[in-house]
Structure 1
Amino acid sequence: MLCAPFKGLRPVRGRESEVIAPPYDVVNSAEAAQLAADRPYSFLHISHPEIDAREGADLYATASEALANLSEQGVLARDSTACYYVYRISTEDHVQTGVALAASVDAYIDNRIRKHEFTRPDKEDERAEHIDRLNAQTGPVLLVYAEQPQLDTMLQTLAAVPPDMDALLVGVRHQVWVVREAEQVRELDLALNDLPAMYIADGHHRSAAAARVCERRQRGDASEYFLAVAFPHTQMNILDYNRVVTDLNGLSSDRFLERVGQRFGVMPEAEPVRPHRPREFGLYLDAQWYRLVANDTDISDDPVKGLDASILSDGLLAPILGIHDPRRDARIDFVGGARGLDGLQRRVDEGDMVAAFSLFPTPMEALMAVADSGEVMPPKSTWFEPKLADGLLSYILE
């Protein structure tokens, strides 16, 4: 089994805008405190309990108390029957419609829910403790499945009526339809569990932590599942994930460009370079943009080595700049595509970085191919926008 319906804990009708919050891992403590100011029901009080706790306080106890308070005050209520939840995210130029579900830990362990990233034990520890102490999963994992027209039509049909929840968060509209009628739940359950696999797009630490909690509790309860929202792969919006470096490894700019020209075509450009296709890159150096095109002889059929992040790393970052481990090397940093090319260029113009590289967004099919092969993506290969929200749905482990 891939997944199951669940009894979601969610804002009562009309209170969703008071509760909705950004994902816990995209805002820091200072940002959370600012966003939660004058918003007593914001889910940030649960995902970032440090904004309310006294020094030395038990943060997990603070978060657990805040979650209980929202229920006691009638802001959150739990559905009485197991449901699926159609979940739509929309911006001015993008719409994606998926389904919130309880994903199977066994499917995760058996690789029907497939991974493409390494995780850090310390981050797993923190998230597992949060789940265990709150007895709830409050941050959904973002899943993707290969487009299935019948399932996608079913979701669109279910979302053809007014939503049960509708809230705006930083220009992104989040709408949820509760699927509670027994026949609709059954049909959706059959369609979802007939899928050959699902893929983790975002939330590797959350899913790994859920598996830890399940093992810790010796199974047999609701911990055998974890909170997730799954979308068809064709509706996902992946932005570029770019790189900046602190130095040229002792090379002059001219010598660096000469070395790059041995592995890439190098063409000066008058405007910032946004690559239009795979194997094409932008380089910003000394207030000048260049378009780089990888030599065909350096292209691999391997699903990992053929990724643009790997081509840049294997053809330039490692052999020319000496950056062999982008995951740990302090000489490289990563800039999400949401910041735009202006934000990327600014890192160099402000003087803390010497050069910037823009990349073509990783195709969703490439991510799925890596996961299917059991391999791991290079670090910071994908940036998904828009993101799921916290607070609209939580999964209680009982």
Structure 2
Amino acid sequence: MAKIIPFKAVRPTRDKVSLVASRSYQSYTQAELEARLDYNPFSFLHIINPGYKYQKEVSGKKRYALVRNRYLEFKEDHIFIQDERPNYYIYKIVNRNGNEFSGIVAAVSAEDYEKDCIKKHEDTIEYRENIFKDYLKTVGFNAEPVLLTYPDNTTITGIIKKTQQERAEFEFTTTYRDTHYLWLLNHSKTIDIIKHEFEKMKTIYIADGHHRSASSYLLAKELKASNKNHKGDEAYNYFMSYLIPESELKIYEFNRIIKDLNGLTKEEFLIKLDTIFRIENRGYTLYRPTRKHHFSMYLDGEFYSLYLRKHNYNIETSLDALDAQILFKTILEPILGITNLRNDKRIHYTYGKEGMVTIKSKIDQGEFVVGFGLLPITIEEMKAIANEGLRMPPKSTFIEPKLRSGVTIYEF
């Protein structure tokens, strides 16, 4: 039973939302970051990069305190205002490729995360969980929703579509040419219907934001333990999420590029691959796989297709059948000696939109030696792995939509 409730968001004023909203901090180049900080005083980047005001790098707890200060300054200057009533926020994104995403920004129960009503498919790193938990505790807000997905529901979809017939509270287009819309939904009967529909769902799934979810849960647990008067309805018991139906989720693959052949010659490497794959040289023709358990490879100026010889590979779980796991267990670990997919500096990742052309370019330039192309996983694969309590290898999915920070903010 999923507990999804409305909340009183802190939001930019209508005239400034396009200036406030920002992408994830890590997605900007240094030049982009400096330009936005230099020329846009309303960017949310000023809040999360508070040392820029003093032209100084600030880290750790000092940074957290300054983030809190910048956030309060934005509220004092009426760049941010808080809604007087709890709302569900109907949010729509139309990206430059014409893909549309419509869902609900709401507060989601941290207890549901603990009870595994909110399912995970990726491992998290403990120290990152605790760092972000401490950050949240100091700043006192969520600024970017966790992306969750739920089984398609005609009742919820109908409410979303009906709400979208009204004038949007926000409508703005980014420099990425994505257009964002936001509507407020606070009609009590409609809110009750949405709550009830989510309560009937036994499971919803994290699509993007595993560390943020874990950190929010840890914070809820800590604040609950320190609050002698804990009731269960405190704001810290929830975290902000953007919930979209499964049919609207877009999943792209992450391809792999490797810096060396682990001491093997090209011929030795191909012979080892032949044990478990049927290999075809595709020459100079750009090739990407078209079926599960098929891979593309670019090596020494030529493309290859790799077809898994299934009699040499055991599939016992949904994780075993995942292409990213197959590649890891058959090539990356046993042949190329890559055991830690998160931290080994010999492996890098390019997401599917960049394609095999990017892999070819990086290898031709001498930066890498070999690259592998995969098909994107399906929502059914993701759910099956989560339902079995298993975890995908790092960088198995690149998921859209990608959300903006600072459009809706959840305080606790």
Partner of 2:382 in structure 1? 367
Post-superposition offset of 1:31: 4.4
Partner of 2:286 in structure 1? 272
Provide Cα deviations, 1:330-367, integer angstroms capped at 9, x if missing partner: 32122222333222222212212110111101111111
Aligned alpha-carbon RMSD (Å): 1.9
Post-superposition offset of 1:251: 1.6
Partner of 1:295 in structure 2? 309
Partner of 2:159 in structure 1? 154
Post-superposition offset of 1:29: 6.2
Provide Cα deviations, 1:169-215, integer angstroms capped at 9, x if missing partner: 21222211111111221111211222221111111111111112112
CA distance in 2, matches of 1:135, 1:387: 23
Pick closer, same or farther for the CA change 1:199–1:28 going to 2, 3 Å: farther
Post-superposition offset of 1:381: 0.4
Q: What SS class does the counterpart of residue 394 from structure 2 fall into?
A: coil
Given that residues 143 and 407 in structure 2 are in contact (C-alpha distance below 8 angstroms), is that contact kept between their aligned partners in structure 1? no
Partner of 2:84 in structure 1? 80
Post-superposition offset of 1:148: 2.1
Partner of 2:401 in structure 1? 386
Post-superposition offset of 1:104: 0.3
Partner of 2:180 in structure 1? 174
CA distance in 2, matches of 1:43, 1:361: 32
Q: What SS class does the counterpart of residue 309 from structure 1 fall into?
A: helix
Identity over aligned pairs, percent: 29
Post-superposition offset of 1:273: 2.1
Q: Which moved more, 1:166-175 or 1:79-88?
A: 166-175
Give the partner amino acid of 2:112. A
Partner of 2:21 in structure 1? 20
1:163 aligns with 2:176: no
Q: What SS class does the counterpart of residue 199 from structure 1 fall into?
A: strand
Paired residues for 1:183-332 under 5 Å:
183-218=189-224, 220=231, 221-269=234-282, 270-297=284-311, 298=313, 300-332=315-347
Provide Cα deviations, 1:315-336, integer angstroms capped at 9, x if missing partner: 2212222223323333212222
Post-superposition offset of 1:100: 0.5
Post-superposition offset of 1:28: 6.5
Given that residues 43 and 390 in structure 1 are in contact (C-alpha distance below 8 angstroms), is that contact kept between their aligned partners in structure 2? yes
Provide Cα deviations, 1:231-271, integer angstroms capped at 9, x if missing partner: 11111111110101111122211221222122112122233
Given that residues 102 and 244 in structure 2 are in contact (C-alpha distance below 8 angstroms), is that contact kept between their aligned partners in structure 1? yes
Post-superposition offset of 1:223: 0.4
CA distance in 2, matches of 1:53, 1:195: 49
Give the partner amino acid of 1:69. E
Q: What SS class does the counterpart of residue 334 from structure 1 fall into?
A: strand
CA distance in 1, matches of 2:78, 2:354: 38
Post-superposition offset of 1:124: 1.8
Q: What SS class does the counterpart of residue 19 from structure 2 fall into?
A: helix
Provide Cα deviations, 1:46-91, integer angstroms capped at 9, x if missing partner: 2333433454752122211221122222221111111111111112
Which residue, 124, 128, 132 being the options, matches 2:129? 124
Partner of 1:358 in structure 2? 373
Pick closer, same or farther for the CA change 1:314–1:190 going to 2, 3 Å: same
Post-superposition offset of 1:25: 4.3
Structure 2 stretches lacking a partner, 5+ long = 225-229
CA distance in 2, matches of 1:83, 1:125: 30
Given that residues 6 and 81 in structure 1 are in contact (C-alpha distance below 8 angstroms), is that contact kept between their aligned partners in structure 2? yes
Number of residues paired by the alignment?
Answer: 397
Normalising by structure 2, we get a TM-score of: 0.91
CA distance in 2, matches of 1:148, 1:308: 30
Partner of 2:227 in structure 1? none
Pick closer, same or farther for the CA change 1:243–1:376 going to 2, 3 Å: same
Give the partner amino acid of 1:330. K
CA distance in 2, matches of 1:305, 1:318: 14
Structure 1 stretches lacking a partner, 5+ long = none
Q: What SS class does the counterpart of residue 41 from structure 2 fall into?
A: coil
CA distance in 1, matches of 2:273, 2:263: 14
Q: Which moved more, 1:236-245 or 1:19-28?
A: 19-28
Given that residues 91 and 182 in structure 2 are in contact (C-alpha distance below 8 angstroms), is that contact kept between their aligned partners in structure 1? yes
